[in-house]
């Protein structure tokens, strides 16, 4: 099974990295013959130092990063295989809470989580992390778009108060003066508003309602929540379910990963005095302008997302998913594997891959460099 | 879920005890194997029951009912889901049973033999469609098609509680989910009913015809009374499937946890299985345990329904 998989991965790598064709051939023949992988691959080791990586690396956590993790693990294993290493990386999308739990139990060596580790979790992490604390690293920035489906309306400007009022059920018709005020040019029909929410528990809902509760606390009084607090109303299971519900009605409005908005209208959100449409740059900027969470170690990079920012060109409705790794690994092989993988997925290359495959907004160069610095500092052995 | 295929009691083949030892070894091997297979069912069932019980203990112990302090209550969480599950399945059966019995009668008593075989085959094919495909079909194609019907029912028959309320498009309501569930349980009810109708004693049917009964009168006086137990059992099997169906409900229904009778309103109902599927991805700790507890409730519910089915079949099944 393992050997067969390796061959497949090596084959994929053949196509991926034309420059390493020779090394890839060497790698696959090595794997076919047994355990001697990497012994005679000096030529390839210079490319990424992956030749020595062997064994299994298991991670679990947030389902929001599932698509990106699938792309990362496959491509990374391809790169390792191409250099003669033999490493299997898996990511089980068990949910953020379970992922953190399994990481603290030592069941998995890294975790993905929509929320950073809490204080108690950080203290508990010293037991599985060779005496040092675990670190949170921003990994995945996903912009959340406010999508709508109104016949004859293509663009819409919405203030946080209006969005909050709509989803709280206080603004019920598209011709409401509060909406018309910010859309002087649009012809808004006399049509019931049908707000659509996620029926499953989701980090998207949590980040969206956190945005509403901070920017429009009077209109949205339910606070940041994971499970929709208002009974009744339209909903959909998962991002795709929500999108198809919005598509299926007229006068519907919902919130979803921007990459999945498809043909639906996407509202521009009021930030400061202007209305900002979603873009990858604007979303990445939202993280850049946010202050770091206080009282954390220097290498524990956690942001206190500033939803109320008035900075120009910033799109504040974003979801940030963190990578949780140990500050120190006692097992050298394990540590090197985690470091290589973490370093790959937070690099510009890895971030571009997830932007293509999962529609995330890549980390900015500065943030990516800072994260890479922390990963370099993880002690091993 | 178990099937209750009524296998004719084959006479036990009595092997000659004085056969050569090789034959006797084969016999005992076969008997061990079949006993093992039989036991395996009990072991599997017991394993599921033990898993569900032990995993739901944290939620049970931490709940309001037992600890008195928690912010969640087993009853408040589970009852609306049980209500939604049973309501959806019941409506599905109300739609499916008359159609299934009609098809079964057509195949067994009206259709020319060739057509009957083809039709039976096609009905069985319905059972081979994966539920996720039904979910896609229901959510994307069927829901918009049903909208005019719902608007009609709501406008003119809104005084009946079931059709009241304020439905909004898209109609991802309990009624749509039930229609798809009805399509899904149709094959099993049809297949079992057809087999039962075909077993009506020929002599009785011919006697009815000889007494001057029309074909319909024959069916009403002979076939239907004879097959009643079988149809009930078939419906219970269908009910079992409808209760546990996950994917189709998940993909069609916009859920909500209430005791509303307004089946046209969205966001009012949810089934146990669909609720587990939708919440488990991000659930951990007590939340997960609570979901497993609802699974235990569904397990017991299905168990009871199967028991009732067996009881009814035993009481009024075809007397051989």
Share of chain B above pLDDT 70, in %: 91
Q: Which residues contact B318 (CB under 8 A, 6 or more apart)?
A: B196, B199, B226, B227, B229, B230
**Confidence bin at A22 (pLDDT 50/70/90):** very low
Measured between alpha carbons, how far is A219 from A343 in angstroms, rounded to an integer? 42
Q: Strand, coil or helix: what is A202? A: coil
Residues A302-311: tens digit of each pLDDT: 999 999 988 8
Whether the CB-CB separation of A101 and B284 falls below 8 Å is answered with: yes
Asked if pLDDT for residue B317 goes beyond 60, the answer is: no
Domains of chain B by residue range: 58-65+73-316
Domain A2-25+33-141+293-303+320-380 of CATH type 1.10.3720.10: no
Q: Give residue A368's pLDDT.
A: 93
Asked if pLDDT for residue A40 goes beyond 60, the answer is: no
Most A CBs within 10 Å, among B170, B250, B285, to test the A interface: B170
Residues A215-274: tens digit of each pLDDT: 999 999 999 988 888 887 899 888 888 999 999 889 999 999 888 888 899 999 999 889
* Across A330-344, average pLDDT: 92
Q: Give residue A27's pLDDT.
A: 39
Shortest CB distance from B281 goes to which of A200, A235, A252?
Answer: A200
Q: Is B279 on the interface with A (CB under 8 A)?
A: yes
Q: Mean pLDDT for chain A?
A: 85
Q: For B256, which residue in chain A has the nearest alpha carbon?
A: A232
Residues of A in contact with B283 (CB under 8 A): 95, 97-98, 201
**Confidence bin at A11 (pLDDT 50/70/90):** very low
When mean pLDDT is compared across A13-27, A258-272, B200-214, the lowest value belongs to: A13-27
Q: Which residues contact B125 (CB under 8 A, 6 or more apart)?
A: B187
* Across A38-48, average pLDDT: 39
* Across A6-33, average pLDDT: 41
C-alpha triplet A249, A237, A175: angle, nearest 5°: 30
A255 φ/ψ angles, rounded to the nearest 5 degrees: -135, 135
Whether the CB-CB separation of A341 and A347 falls below 8 Å is answered with: no
ipTM for the complex?
0.75
* Across A94-115, average pLDDT: 90
- In order of A272, A276, A285, B318, the CA distances from B294 in angstroms are 47, 44, 43, 37
Q: Give residue B287's pLDDT.
A: 87
Asked if pLDDT for residue B67 goes beyond 90, the answer is: no
> What sign has the CA pseudo-torsion B196, B201, B202, B208?
negative
Return the HEC string of A248-303: HCCCEEEEEEHHHCCCCEECEEEECCEEECCCHHHHHHHHHCCCECCCCCCCCCCE
Share of chain B above pLDDT 90, in %: 59
Asked if pLDDT for residue B13 goes beyond 60, the answer is: no
Asked if pLDDT for residue B17 goes beyond 60, the answer is: no
Q: For B173, which residue in chain A has the nearest alpha carbon?
A: A234
Shortest CB distance from A241 goes to which of B168, B169, B251?
Answer: B251
Q: Give residue B84's pLDDT.
A: 94
For the beta carbon of residue A278, count every other beta carbon within 10 angstroms: 22
List the one residue out of A149, A24, A330, A32 whose CA is nearest residue B168.
A149
* Across B29-45, average pLDDT: 94
Q: Give residue B12's pLDDT.
A: 55
Q: Give residue B15's pLDDT.
A: 55
Is A232's CB within 8 Å of B265's CB? yes
* Across A31-58, average pLDDT: 56
Fold category of A143-286 in CATH: D-Maltodextrin-Binding Protein; domain 2 (3.40.190)
* Across A80-101, average pLDDT: 90
Asked if pLDDT for residue B81 goes beyond 90, the answer is: yes
Q: Which residues pair with A275 in a beta bridge?
A: A270
* Across A23-38, average pLDDT: 38
Do the domains at A2-25+33-141+293-303+320-380 and A143-286 have one common CATH topology?
Answer: yes
Q: Give residue B286's pLDDT.
A: 87
Closest CA–CA distance from residue A358 to any residue of chain B (Å): 18
Is B284's CB within 8 Å of A203's CB? no
- CATH architecture for the domain at B58-65+73-316: Orthogonal Bundle (1.10)
C-alpha triplet A31, A36, A37: angle, nearest 5°: 50
Is A101's CB within 8 Å of B143's CB? no
Domains of chain A by residue range: 2-25+33-141+293-303+320-380, 143-286
When mean pLDDT is compared across A11-20, A73-82, B141-150, the lowest value belongs to: A11-20
For residue A86, give both structure tokens.
Answer: 């033999």
pTM above 0.90, yes or no: no
Q: Give residue B23's pLDDT.
A: 66
Q: Is B269 on the interface with A (CB under 8 A)?
A: no
When mean pLDDT is compared across A23-27, B68-72, B115-119, B234-238, the lowest value belongs to: A23-27
Residues B151-160: tens digit of each pLDDT: 999 999 989 9
Q: Mean pLDDT for chain B?
A: 87
Give the E-state strand segments of chain A in sequence order. 54-61, 86-92, 110-113, 134-149, 157-158, 194-198, 234-236, 252-257, 265-266, 268-271, 274-276, 318-326, 328-329, 379-380
Asked if pLDDT for residue A36 goes beyond 70, the answer is: no
Q: Give residue B229's pLDDT.
A: 86
Q: For B281, which residue in chain A has the nearest alpha carbon?
A: A95
């Amino acid at each position: 099974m393992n050997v067969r998989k390796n061959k497949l991965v090596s084959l994929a790598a053949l196509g991926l990295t034309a420059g390493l064709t020779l090394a890839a051939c060497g790698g696959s023949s090595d794997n076919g013959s047994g355990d001697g992988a990497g012994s005679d691959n000096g030529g390839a080791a210079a490319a990424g130092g992956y030749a020595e990586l062997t064994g299994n690396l298991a991670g679990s956590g947030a389902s929001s990063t599932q698509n990106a993790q699938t792309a990362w693990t496959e491509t990374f294993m391809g790169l390792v295989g191409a250099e003669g290493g033999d490493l299997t990386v898996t990511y089980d999308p068990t949910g953020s809470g379970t992922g953190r739990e399994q990481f603290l139990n030592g069941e998995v060596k890294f975790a993905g989580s929509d929320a950073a580790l809490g204080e108690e979790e950080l203290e508990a992490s010293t037991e599985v992390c060779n005496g040092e604390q675990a670190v949170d690293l921003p990994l995945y920035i996903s912009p959340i778009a406010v999508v709508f489906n109104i016949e004859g309306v293509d663009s819409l400007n919405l203030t946080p108060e209006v969005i909050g009022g709509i989803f709280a059920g206080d603004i019920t018709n598209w011709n409401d003066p509060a909406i018309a005020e910010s859309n002087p040019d649009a012809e808004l029909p006399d049509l019931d508003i049908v707000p659509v929410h996620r029926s499953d528990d989701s980090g998207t809902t949590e980040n969206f309602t956190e945005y509403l509760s901070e920017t429009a606390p009077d209109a949205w009084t339910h606070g940041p929540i994971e499970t929709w607090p208002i009974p009744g109303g339209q909903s959909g299971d998962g991002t795709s379910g929500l999108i198809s519900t919005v598509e299926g009605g007229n006068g519907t409005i919902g919130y979803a990963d921007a990459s999945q908005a498809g043909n639906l209208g996407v509202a521009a959100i009021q930030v400061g005095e202007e209305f900002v449409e979603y873009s990858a740059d604007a979303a990445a900027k939202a993280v850049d302008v946010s202050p770091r969470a206080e009282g954390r170690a220097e290498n524990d990079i956690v942001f206190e997302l500033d939803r109320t920012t008035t900075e120009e060109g910033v799109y504040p409705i974003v979801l940030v998913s963190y990578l949780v790794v140990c500050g120190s690994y006692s097992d050298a092989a394990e540590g090197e594997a985690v470091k290589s993988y973490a370093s790959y997925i937070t690099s510009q290359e890895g971030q571009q891959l997830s932007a293509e495959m999962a529609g995330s907004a890549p980390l900015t160069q500065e943030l990516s460099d800072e994260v890479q610095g922390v990963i370099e500092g993880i002690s091993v052995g | 879920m178990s099937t209750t295929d009524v296998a004719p009691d084959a006479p036990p083949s009595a092997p000659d005890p004085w056969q050569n030892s090789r034959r006797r070894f084969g016999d005992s091997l076969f008997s061990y194997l079949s006993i093992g297979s039989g036991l395996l069912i009990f072991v599997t069932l017991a394993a599921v029951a033990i898993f569900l019980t032990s995993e739901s203990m944290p939620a049970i112990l931490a709940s309001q009912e037992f600890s008195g302090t928690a912010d969640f209550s087993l009853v408040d969480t589970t009852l609306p889901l049980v209500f939604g599950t049973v309501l959806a399945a019941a409506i599905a059966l109300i739609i499916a049973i008359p159609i299934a019995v009609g098809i079964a009668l057509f195949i067994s008593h009206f259709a020319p033999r060739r057509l009957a075989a083809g039709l039976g085959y096609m009905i069985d094919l319905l059972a081979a469609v994966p539920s996720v495909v039904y979910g896609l079909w229901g959510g994307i194609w069927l829901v918009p098609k049903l909208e005019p019907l719902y608007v009609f029912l709501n406008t003119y028959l809104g005084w009946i509680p079931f059709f009241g309320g304020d439905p909004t498009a898209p109609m991802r309501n309990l009624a749509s989910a039930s229609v798809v569930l009805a399509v899904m349980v149709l094959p099993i009810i049809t297949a079992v009913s057809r087999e039962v109708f075909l077993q009506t004693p020929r002599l009785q049917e011919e006697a009815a015809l000889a007494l001057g009964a029309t074909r319909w009168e024959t069916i009403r006086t002979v076939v239907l009374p004879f097959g009643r137990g079988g149809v009930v059992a078939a419906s219970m099997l269908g009910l079992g499937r409808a209760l546990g169906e996950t994917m189709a409900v998940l993909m069609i229904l916009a859920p909500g946890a209430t005791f509303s009778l307004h089946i046209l309103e969205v966001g009012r109902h949810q089934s146990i299985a669909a609720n587990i599927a939708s919440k488990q991805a991000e659930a951990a700790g007590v939340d997960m345990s609570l979901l497993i507890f609802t699974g235990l409730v569904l397990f017991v519910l299905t168990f009871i329904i199967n028991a009732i089915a067996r009881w009814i079949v035993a009481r009024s099944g075809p007397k051989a």
